[in-house]
Chain A
Amino acid sequence: MSDWVEACAAGDIDEEDVMRFDHGGRTFAIYRSPDDDYFATDGLCTHEKVHLADGLVMDDIIECPKHNGRFNYKTGDARGAPVCVNLRTYPVRVDAGKVLIQVG
């Protein structure tokens, strides 16, 4: 599979934070966890299609900026009302200081 795409430099995202990444007409959210690992999910909340990159990362949770719905960004699990549908997650690797995600 060659659908790995470069999303940003590793240093572009602060620790315990999230960044928006648009590619091929789609939008993703890239996370840097407090342990300095990187993760990626769909960029829009499954509740009302709001950009999660404007939300708050706390430990392994992303909280949506619109209605405070929470997801585990490592697994995509929805953590209760008002989000009921899980987020899709994507494989991520860091290569030579670049964050790559497999968007397939």
Chain B
Amino acid sequence: MNNNNEIIDISNLDSILFKSFSFFHNFCITCGLCSSTCPASGIEEFDPRKIVRLVSLGLEDEAVQSKWPWVCTMCGKCENLCPMGVDITGIIRKIRGLREKNKIPGILQNGLEAAIKTGNNLSLPKEDFIYILEDVANEIKEEKGFEDFEVPIDKKGANILLTIHNKLVNTHTEDLKHWFKIFYAANESWTISSENWEGTNWAYFTGDDDSMKILCGRIIEQMKRLEIKSLLWPE
């Protein structure tokens, strides 16, 4: 992005460029309420009003190449307060989606591609996944009152299908226990699918609608396969 003393080439100013947006960004009255409330304001000199301005002025290239859309946490505080109802997170997602895939920052695109290819962000094989779940179940069994605990995998006709955030079968396996124990105590009928169990959907953050649909669709498929009506998708 340009520094203070760099001059913007205003031949790029063309609000028509962003006309394909279905957002009412042109309603922005530049009040700055969004920037006052945003927890990420100031990081990398980012603030949401600037993003909405870039879009309103049609500076598409500048918006797409800027770091700013990637600073946002998608928390939605800004649009909650916006007096003109501008869909700020919608705009930011759309801009992210316009980036070339190989220029998406951090691990987002890698994780997403792994998920599309293998069913989860970690490319974790099915056997390993089941092994980890059963290992956790065995640890629970050792606790008093949980002696007959079993982790239900691919249980047809269960009441709830639970998706799993990949970190829970990676670095945070301890956290799985809380969920499992609550289900057990509540006598809930629940299950985990051995395939396409991934609960994160990084396509949401990269603004990639097509991939997002694929990942969501797979979870629906598992619900159909296992004849389950309710989904618990904690991410």
- The answer to whether A and B come from one shared complex is no
